[in-house]
Structure 1
Amino acid sequence: MQWFYTGIVFLHVLSAVGSVGPLFLLFPIISRIQKGSSVEQTTLLSLFKWTTRFVMHAGHVLVVSGVILILIGPWPWYTSWVIVTLGLMMLSIVFLASGFSTVLNRFPKEPENRDILLKKLKNTSWRYIGLLVIMLYLMVVKPSFW
């Protein structure tokens, strides 16, 4: 059983890297969209969408592996760091869905607002990275809040 737990921990860590790391690729993409032609912008927006989908699916693996670790590990569901992490996870779902999807869908419809939309994408990316880093801290340190 120890090998299974270790394997799930490894999968959990890999999925955490996969859900945070690619977000840093979004910033160069955003700056290239600002400077690119409309054909380049379409390609870069497609790459941006692909990157956010990859992050989303890595997040799914992260959540499933985290649930398995809670079920078979030594921490109960009512542990304070688990509850706080779950709350932050709900916030991150809202940010990913509303922050990225709606803005990306507005790009073809509102080319005159490109700079405003790119600024929103950049701000949303930083907020999402911040939430994920806080969740990473909670998973590693496992602080007791109550």
Structure 2
Amino acid sequence: MLHIFFLYIHILSAIGSIGPLFALIPMLKKMEETDEASLGGFVQSFQYAISVVKHFGHILVTSGVFLIILSGWTWTTSWVVLTIVGMGSSVFYLARAFKPTLKTYGTSDFNKESFIAKLRKSTWIYILLLLFVLWLMVAKPVLW
């Protein structure tokens, strides 16, 4: 019963950690079309979405740890090791990709076109990274 509970928490947190990223794609298009004076609300929404992704990621990792403990999988299983590497990479990438770019808004370093291009690129790379980790968790490939 405990395993099922953590499995549902894990699945819901996986949805919460990747879902908001897909909402950012049309938002980036709207950011291109708006003037710089009206960009503030979009930037705040973008920051909020990244914060939601981050917090769901914490729940995802925690529930994943409990699932490994409760299941027959070991920490040295190939897909578990690669998932840990992928999640570790995603944490590092999340901090390095978005925060420095978002901090430029409202400063003399801000350039709207460059700002949106960096956010778009970072969003897609992060989505692809999380989709790879999701594939590892679902397919559970035995690589060694």
Sort the Cα spacing of 1:112 and 1:72 in 2 relative to 1 into closer, same or farther, 3 A: closer
Q: TM-score, length-normalised on structure 1?
A: 0.94
User: How many residue pairs get matched?
Assistant: 144
SS for the counterpart of 1:120 is helix
Partners of 2:101 and 2:35 in 1: CA distance:
19
How far apart, in 2, do the equivalents of 1:19 and 1:81 lie? 19
Mapping of 1:12-91 within 5 angstroms? 12-91=10-89
Q: Which has the higher helix share?
A: 1
Identity %: 36
Gaps of 5+ in 1: none
Instruction: Tell me, in whole angstroms, the C-alpha distance in 2 between the residues paired with 1:82 and 1:110.
Output: 44
Q: CA offset at residue 27 of structure 1?
A: 1.2
C-alpha RMSD of the superposition: 1.2
CA distance in 2, matches of 1:124, 1:38: 21
**Any gaps of 5 or more consecutive residues in structure 2?**
none
Q: Which runs of 4+ in 1 moved over 3 A?
A: none
* Cα drift, residue 39 of structure 1: 4.0
TM-score in terms of structure 2 length: 0.95
User: Per-residue deviation at 1:110?
Assistant: 4.0
Return the letter of the residue paired with 1:47.
Answer: S
CA-to-partner distance for each residue in 1:70-110, whole Å, 9 max, x for gaps? 11111011111110111111111121101011100012114
2:3 is aligned with 1:11:
no
